[in-house]
Amino acid sequence: MFTPEYLIQQTFNGIVFGAMYALLALGMTVIYGILRLIHFAHGALITVGAFGFYLFFAVLGLPFPAAIVLIIGLGALMGVILDVVAYKKAVGGPEVSMLITSLGFYILIENLMKLIVSPQPYAFPTPELLDRIYSMPALTFRTIDIFIIATSIAIMVFFTLFVKRTKMGVAMRATAESGEAARMVGINIGRVISISFIIASAIAGITGFMWGAKYGQISYNMGFMAGVKAFVAIVIGGVGSIPGAMLGGFILGILEMFSVAFLPPGYAAYRDGIVFFILILILIVKPSGILGQKEVE
Amino acid sequence: MLKVEGIDVHYGIIPAVRELSLSVEKGQIATLVGANGAGKSTTLKAVMGALIPKRGTVLYKGEDVTGVPADKRVGMGIALVPEGRQIFSRLTVRENLNLGAYHRNDKKGIINDQEWIYGLFPVLKERGSQLAGTLSGGEQQMLALGRGLMSHPQLLMLDEPSLGLAPIVVVDIYKVIEEINRSGITILLVEQNINMAMKISSYAYIMETGKIRTEGKPDEVMKRENIMKVYLGE
């Protein structure tokens, strides 16, 4: 059972899942950094992205690239809606009201989805090109796995460059450190918040496609565990750290795969429980996470 | 340049400044001194727009800016170097400086200002790619001043620039403050280091529990009031 091939296969699977966790964690951590808000509703956006793809690709019959562009746009639009409808009103108030707003929005989106698509799971319409299986001596993979890894790495590289090199990116980091100081150097914080929501939500939109294609099945409540896992990834990497969120995502994916792979058969159903176990362990051993910084006052 | 008329500023429900009026002439160094908690920083924040007064008006170059948010006032030529410096410690020195010019698009002007600031504080150039949090206290104050200057202000407010610095560093910082003023920038200074502040100022306000207690030329004020005893308890 513990052959090198098996280890390589499980590591590969872990990286594929980890890439998706990392993308969600990236968005959540950016929003946390700027608003000090644990954005629970973020997970719901992958449900919107996944069903959006179903609508554009399977129902409306649009070509694959068009459907992808549209779900990124749909994600961005959700970001605008969340920002304008919910958070613009709650920003500046007690942090707990933002938290409740976020939970409320998660519940709202999930129930809206349930109403629209019914509680039945749907088979995901993965394009044939991304559903091919290749077998090599050490590794069996589907083309969607390669798509997920390549796309998520591209997104992470672009995002890192954006945050490091552009004026808006630097303003985002400054606002994350101190909103008051940022305002006093002339940064329009409202705009920084809006742009963070738009970027994070657009990324969540395309992650919804990846999630659906990887699992092969989508349902109205798929965003819940996704959001929770992204949160665990953030804690592993260090709350508020962008590289930490990405690293945490990959670590979580690999840990999850290995724990499933090495547990006796029949225990695979505990997969999600193991995620929480990891969370508890991290909180006990290193609450600031791997790359976490202490709050600068 | 600046005219503050009868402002009341509250933190939540707690009043910090009451019926405060002051004015700063163009090209002046005006100073606001007083004990801890007298409302000096609150006054500066109200001029900056970080706090909005409940009553009264803030006039800048004759224009009513009372309700204008802070980020817009930066573009109008007001800058505040806040108490405790508030530099972005996880950003590099250069990124901090560039953020000072966030609202500007005049590339040439930005480069000119940057060269001028590097002339005033050569250490900022040397440490450009270092994280700001790794600078010493004096260097952080220089960075905060430099960041304020990068916005090309006409009115520069300094909140306790000497706080927590070694006396020799304070002397250096004050030399630069005078040089900044000579270049034509109006300065409103808040200090507890009363001697330093009085020496370089042309007008002084003494604050006490949220109000202006007395005002005038620094030497007159010093003579008139036994400031050290009355306000600083020394």
pLDDT, mean of residues A171-199: 94
DSSP letter at B130 equals S
In angstroms, the separation between the Cα of residue A261 and the nearest Cα of chain B is 40
In this prediction, residue B21 carries a pLDDT of: 95
For residues A213 and B15, what is the distance between their CA atoms, to the nearest angstrom?
59
Q: Do A183 and B90 touch (CB under 8 A)?
A: no
Strand ranges of the sheet holding B211-216, from the earlier edge strand across to the other edge: B78-81, B155-159, B186-191, B29-34, B203-208, B211-216
DSSP secondary-structure letter at A57? Answer: I
Q: Which amino acid is at A10?
A: Q
**pLDDT at res. A262:** 80
For A111, the 3-state DSSP assignment is helix
pLDDT at site B227:
60
pLDDT at A5: 87
Residue with tokens 């950003």: B91
On chain B, the residues whose CB falls within 8 A of the CB of A183 are 50, 69-71
Interchain pair A185, B82: CB under 8 A = no
Nearest CA in chain B to A93: B12
Which pLDDT value is given to residue A296?
A: 41
- Residue B188 and residue B47 in contact, taking contact as beta carbons nearer than 8 Å: yes
Contact: A183, B87; criterion CB under 8 Å = no
Nearest residue of A to residue B88, measured between CA atoms: A174
pLDDT interval class at A3 (50, 70, 90): confident
Q: What is the pLDDT of residue B195?
A: 86
pLDDT mean across residues, chain B: 92
Q: How far A143 CA sits from the closest chain B CA (Å)?
A: 40
First to last CA, chain A: 51
Computed on alpha carbons and rounded to an integer, the radius of gyration of chain A in Å comes to 19
What mean pLDDT is reported for chain A?
Answer: 92
- Give the residue extent of every domain in chain A: 4-285
Interface contacts A/B by beta carbons within 8 Å? 65
**Model confidence pLDDT, tens digit, residues A9-67:** 999 999 999 999 999 999 999 999 998 888 989 999 999 999 999 999 999 999 999 99
Residues 6 or more apart whose CB falls under 8 angstroms from that of B230 comprise none
Residue A295 confidence class, pLDDT cut points 50, 70, 90:
very low
Please list the alpha-helical segments (H only) found in A61-188.
Answer: 64-81, 88-90, 95-117, 143-165, 167-177, 179-184
Give per-residue pLDDT as tens, B173-192.
Answer: 999 999 999 999 999 999 98
CA distances from B226 to A12, A268, B189, B200 (A): 77, 80, 21, 19
Among A181, A183, A186, beta carbon nearest to B88: A181
Q: What local confidence, expressed as pLDDT, does residue A55 receive?
A: 97
Q: Is the pLDDT of residue A186 over 90?
A: yes
B29 vs B201: CA distance, rounded Å? 5
Contact B93, B128 (CB under 8 A): yes
Residues 89-128 of B with CB under 8 A from A: 89-91, 95, 98-100, 102-103
Q: How do residues B148-178 score in pLDDT, each as one tens digit?
A: 999 999 999 999 999 989 999 999 999 999 9
CATH number at A4-285? 1.10.3470
Residue B231 has pLDDT above 60, yes or no: no
3-state secondary structure of B167: helix
Among A1-5, A119-123, A291-295, B36-40, whose mean pLDDT is lowest? A291-295
E strand or H helix at B78? strand B78-81
pLDDT for residue B230: 54
At B229 the pLDDT is 58
- Residue-wise pLDDT for A205-236, tens only, equals 999 999 999 999 999 999 999 999 999 999 99
> Does the pTM exceed 0.95?
no
Mean pLDDT value of segment A139-162 = 96
The residue in chain A having the minimum alpha-carbon distance to the alpha carbon of residue B44 is A184
Strand B78-81 to B155-159 pairing: parallel
Give the nearest partner residue to A183 out of B71, B95, B147, using CB atoms: B71
User: Nearest to residue B215, comparing CAs of B199, B233, B198, B228?
Assistant: B198
CA distance B102 to B89: 17
pLDDT (average), residues B112-117:
96
* Structure-token pair, residue A187: 């940064």
Contacts of A42 (CB under 8 A, 6+ apart): A24, A27, A28, A31, A200, A201, A204, A227, A230
Q: Which among B74, B89, B90 is the nearest to A186, CB-wise?
A: B74
Cβ <8 Å between B103 and A186? yes
Q: Which of B50, B102, B133 sits opposite A186 (nearest CB)?
A: B102
C-alpha B200: how far from chain center: 14
Q: How far is B79 from chain A (nearest CA, A)?
A: 7
Tell me if chain B has a CB within 8 Å of the CB of A148.
no
Buried b (16+ CB within 10 A) or exposed e, A159-180: beeebeeeeebbbbbbbbbbbe
- pLDDT beyond 80 at B202: yes
Output B229 or A263, whichever has higher pLDDT.
A263
Helix H or strand E encompassing B60 = strand B55-60
Q: What pLDDT is stored for residue A297 in this prediction?
A: 34
Q: Which CATH number fits domain B2-232: 3.40.50.280, 3.10.20.880, 3.40.190.10, 3.40.50.300?
A: 3.40.50.300
> In chain B, what residues touch A189 (CB-CB under 8 Å)?
71
